[in-house]
Chains A and B, each alone.
Chain A
Amino acid sequence: MTTLSLTINGRLYGPIDVRAELTMNDFLREVLGLTGTKFGCGAAQCLSCAVIVDGDDGTSHTKPTCVIPALSFNGKKIRTIEGHAINGELTALQKGFIEHFAFQCGYCTPGFLNEGQVFLERLERKPISRADLEKAIVEALDGHLCRCTGYVKYHQAVRDVILADPGRYLT
């Protein structure tokens, strides 16, 4: 057993004793009961399990949790789907997903939401041109698998959130 401490959605967890081989996905779902993060394949192929890792340098990226030991998140700050809305106020991307009917069964939604949010934040730091937008969305979301939707409405939702506030995301 080794102790694990980390910040999830702004709240400090730990120190908690965990086994070295316990995956982050099981830590979230079985230990903490945070089941918003899903388990899809256990092979880092579908990314329904991806969470946001916030770096100290102000950048963020997503990381699958199903094959990665919980201990590798020691000291990290992460965000999960449960942490996007603040005081019940949905983010622009959450609203966008809902208004676009982006998801169907919704099981892949946590991964898409996290990836989309990281993408938006990246554009805020480093805007891109309108002409490059669709291609950039495909590249950002492409690792995430969805079996219901054909992806179209996810992409449209992300695009429309950006186009609704072009000064923030586009050059």
Chain B
Amino acid sequence: MRPSRRELMKWVTASGITLGISRLSLADTLGFLVHETLPGRGVSRPASGRVDGVAKATGAKLYASDFRAADLPGWPGETSHALLVRAADATHVYSGLDLERLGKLAPPSVVVTAADLERIGTRVPEFYTGDLFCPVGKTPLYLGQPVALLIFDTFDAFDRARLALREDNFLRFGAETGPVPGANYAAFRFTRVAGATPDAPDIYSPIQEGWISPGFLESSGRPIWQPLPVAKGGEYVKGATYGEDIRAALARKDPSILTLARDFETQSVDPMFLEPEAGLAWFDSASKDLKLVLGVQSPFEAGSAIAFLLGEAADAYKPSRIDAQFAYVGGGFGGRDHTPFPLYVALAAMFFPGRPVRLAHDRYQQFQGGIKRHPFKMHSEIGIDRATGKIVAFAADHVLDGGGLMNYSTSVAVVGATGATGIYDVPKVDVTTVAVHSRGVTAGSMRGYGTLQTMTALEVLVDEAAAALPLDPIEFRRRNALKVGGRTMTGNPYSVSVRTPEILDKLDRHAIWKRRAEEKARAPAGVLIGTGVACSMKDYGTGADCSLGTVSIDPEGRISIHSDAVEMGNGIGTALANRVALHLGSIADEVTVAQVDVFDALGLFTSGDAYLISQEEQDTAARDTGWVPAISSATSASIGAHVGTQAAAEAARVVFRFGLWPAALDLWGIAPNDPRSKQSDEAFWQDGYLVMSGLSPLPLKAIAAKAHARKGVTGAMAHAFSRWAWSQATFAIGDQEWTADIDALAIQLGSAAFTRLDRSAVAFPPADYNRIGTAFSSLCGTLVRVEIERATGVLRIAKAYSVLECGQVLVPEVVVGQAQGGFAMGVGYALLETLPPFEEGPGNGKWNLGQYLIARGSDLPLHDLEIEVLPPFSPKEPPKGMAEVVMIPIVPALLNAIFDATGHRFNALPVTQAMLKGVLA
């Protein structure tokens, strides 16, 4: 995710607001009574595989949907069940629910409505602003808005009711009002004018001038991109003037410049994670503890949101403590990041005190109420110098539909806009974006958000431009690729490796590309063959990313890791184990994830808002040791490898340097004044032994035992924060100073408790870095060859190749698996998946798989998909996020291949078999 969320608008409209997710005031998200410790001590498992491999291959209870009250120690034995009733109408007044029709067999024990929330005094967290339930007498804000929560004592009653509700419409509606109007969520303009030479400062850029937003028409709420002076403030006028100059130049029809102006539309899709959202909660009215089992990508946020929801409720509805346990996630893809579902789980428990209540979507409800991907309408203009083949200017206008609640719409708009120039170095850019409100199902986070849409449009446009020049598409990309040190659209360079030339060379030399003409020529009668290429550069991280990690080793040499990152299939547990093993020489025996409650020893607190904070505020706050800009992040934005493992890796370094290394010196008999005692960097692990040239290798177990005997550092707990650069702090460990890319540290000596070390110095990334669009990026290029049957429009992907770079690869199999999965999701997005807007769409509650198509095995080149991962640029290159970038070029590569095969350029997704048949008829 990104600097945006709800805060971004405030940044623009009311800078300096102090708010934020502070340490939970009502309750800590305490206690994972049921640790999902994997692989678990003593569990036999194959020599290789994920740390959660055995559990997942044997059907262990792992997911939130697996748990019932009887599974949880200390909970009552019986589980009650709740049903969230949603409106399939957002243009008529909701007048109530006809529950009598459920009959005597399935009466709900409790019905929770908007009136009940009003009565007990709940508050809606700002991120989810909008009624949690549509009140009687109002038109639902959006299709699929909940109207009531029905709670049933027994499963049988619940089961009867849900079947009855599926069969019949129990909701009553009155007068037609049309859709409820709502303000659009955000509008921005990103304009950059480069200096005369690459080294010269930009003439105008968002980094220099700040981000700008236009004014809005009061009548329609639409942004006013021009005439210019109407906008609020001079800042907008300045940027927009440059922007309009760029557009005017593009419109000038200079014969030396090839200009293309094209429209492109993308569709709404569902993340379609296999496990529908589910949760379990129990409010113990005696102790006033609210206990929950949830499966989300953002545990800290979910706990905070529930605490806010109930923080000022009437006494009987206000827990004194919230104990949330976060389970493994059955697929996420962004759709479980900041979802309102946990709020309803909590409400179910609060309104049925004493009884554990389970709330679980079925697939119809998941389609109806789950977060969707934003559909985009884009207009793009590109100008290219015919003589040099270099892009001279790019302008675009994006309109994205955020549906009925804001959620991540602002962020998606920003990410899409700032990614709209893809891999290219463009000296003049002007991109406007507006995230609009509608009555559709809420759109939010989903894999590659914003950029999937805008980079698809760009890569298709570039393909057409290259053909028009004419210039080989890969050569065109080579000439225009952003180089190391080149500036992105916001005016900053990437601060990580940029390897576009290597990726393009790989694509250029691949057999799929080299043989494209030959393959096209040998197409059998009735079949069209085409080859497509695309290359995308995708940000990872959000600009305010946190990592919490603890690493400890026992006297037997067994390693434990605890982390706040969420396992949703991304292999974070395995990545943690592997990254820690680089420092400690062995794969962990225990890895727990999705934990936010086991880091109390760090004494962390926060204030302000990481995205909005001024430099002065940050400098003042930083004087308090223990203050950090933010405490815990969602597992999203491809941050798993880069961010999710950072704190644990740094903790492992401390354990090695101040625990294992001194112990090893002791075992080797090397005195402190021996020069070799300073050469810890030269030691390395091999097969569980610490090897140092000229000395006997030492087994980890012996070193660990010695470290404990010496009461050296046997555990470390760390917090790290990144705002496009890591925080860095210095700590005194023993008699030495230790500086690392962390901002809080606690250590364990021998078997003692963890003790926080006060930092003696700290440098948080400058507050100005919040103006950066992104500074972290990884790259993926894709080639596909398609075969299309002329008579039927049936498309087969004959061969495909994706090449990517992601720095240090922590778990090669996981990286390749993500790339294969990204390929499949890209195919679905390009060719299969679509959700119509509004009444015909998922908000009507009638959508399910079968009607909604995702890629199956037979849709994919299972044995002809080649994934190549470049080795790290240098041995010290850290891991880079890659789970999103691997999906993006698939889509434009397919469209470009379809053009190559058919001669037809599609400008909307998905390109279905029927559409292909239509143009080939």
On whether the beta carbons of A145 and B856 are closer than 8 Å, the reply is yes
A33 to B58, CA, bound (A): 15
Considering only residues 28-72 of chain A, those with a C-beta below 8 Å from chain B are: 30, 33-43, 45-46, 48
On whether the beta carbons of A145 and B45 are closer than 8 Å, the reply is no
A140 to B854, CA, bound (A): 18
On whether the beta carbons of A94 and B331 are closer than 8 Å, the reply is no
Q: A37-B59, A45-B849, A134-B863 are in contact. Are A150 and B821 (CB under 8 A)?
A: yes
On whether the beta carbons of A82 and B59 are closer than 8 Å, the reply is yes
On whether the beta carbons of A30 and B865 are closer than 8 Å, the reply is no
Considering only residues 806-820 of chain B, those with a C-beta below 8 Å from chain A are: 811, 813-814, 817-820
Q: Is B287 an interface residue (CB 8 A)?
A: no
On whether the beta carbons of B53 and A30 are closer than 8 Å, the reply is no
Q: A42-B848, A104-B569, A145-B274 are in contact. Are A22 and B159 (CB under 8 A)?
A: yes
A117 to B846, CA, bound (A): 34
B363: A residues at CB distance < 8 A: 40-43
On whether the beta carbons of B865 and A150 are closer than 8 Å, the reply is yes
Q: Is A74 an interface residue (CB 8 A)?
A: no
**Chain B minimum-CB-distance residue to A35:** B66
Considering only residues 79-119 of chain A, those with a C-beta below 8 Å from chain B are: 80-82, 84-85, 88, 90, 94-95, 97-101, 103-110, 113
A63 to B220, CA, bound (A): 54
On whether the beta carbons of B273 and A105 are closer than 8 Å, the reply is yes
Interface size bucket, B side?
35 or more
What's the nearest-Cβ distance from chain A to residue B68, in Å? 7
What's the nearest-Cβ distance from chain A to residue B586, in Å? 19
**Chain B minimum-CB-distance residue to A19:** B156
Give the interface SS of chain A, mostly helix, strand, loop or mixed: loop
A134 to B857, CA, bound (A): 12
Q: Is B571 an interface residue (CB 8 A)?
A: yes
Q: Is B99 an interface residue (CB 8 A)?
A: no
Q: Is A146 an interface residue (CB 8 A)?
A: yes
The contact string, 1 if C-beta is below 8 Å from chain B, for chain A 119-152, is: 0000000000000001000100111111111111
On whether the beta carbons of B273 and A142 are closer than 8 Å, the reply is no
Chain A: interface residue total (CB-CB under 8 A): 59
A143 to B579, CA, bound (A): 37
On whether the beta carbons of B856 and A142 are closer than 8 Å, the reply is yes
Q: Is A155 an interface residue (CB 8 A)?
A: yes
On whether the beta carbons of B66 and A106 are closer than 8 Å, the reply is no
Contact of B814 among A30, A101, A113 (CB under 8 A): A101
A143 to B848, CA, bound (A): 15
A46 to B853, CA, bound (A): 10
A146 to B811, CA, bound (A): 21
Q: Is B57 an interface residue (CB 8 A)?
A: yes
A82: B residues at CB distance < 8 A: 58-59
A85 to B821, CA, bound (A): 27
A41: B residues at CB distance < 8 A: 363, 848-850
B848: A residues at CB distance < 8 A: 41-43, 45
Q: Is B744 an interface residue (CB 8 A)?
A: no
Q: Is B515 an interface residue (CB 8 A)?
A: no
B49: A residues at CB distance < 8 A: 98-99, 101
B856: A residues at CB distance < 8 A: 142-143, 145, 151
B156: A residues at CB distance < 8 A: 19, 22
Q: Is B50 an interface residue (CB 8 A)?
A: yes
A144: B residues at CB distance < 8 A: 857
**Chain A minimum-CB-distance residue to B822:** A150
B568: A residues at CB distance < 8 A: 105
What's the nearest-Cβ distance from chain A to residue B75, in Å? 14
What are 6 A-B contacts with C-beta separation under 8 Å?
A38-B65, A105-B274, A145-B274, A147-B854, A150-B822, A151-B824
Instruction: Give me the interface of A with B, judged by CB distance under 8 Å.
Output: 19, 21-22, 26, 30, 33-43, 45-46, 48, 80-82, 84-85, 88, 90, 94-95, 97-101, 103-110, 113, 134, 138, 141-155
Q: Which 10 A-B pairs have the closest CB atoms?
A: A36-B59, A105-B569, A104-B569, A106-B56, A107-B330, A150-B820, A81-B59, A45-B849, A98-B53, A150-B824
Given contacts A138-B857, A150-B865, A151-B862, 13 further A-B contacts (CB under 8 A): A37-B59, A38-B275, A81-B57, A98-B53, A145-B274, A146-B821, A148-B331, A148-B569, A150-B819, A151-B860, A152-B817, A152-B860, A153-B817
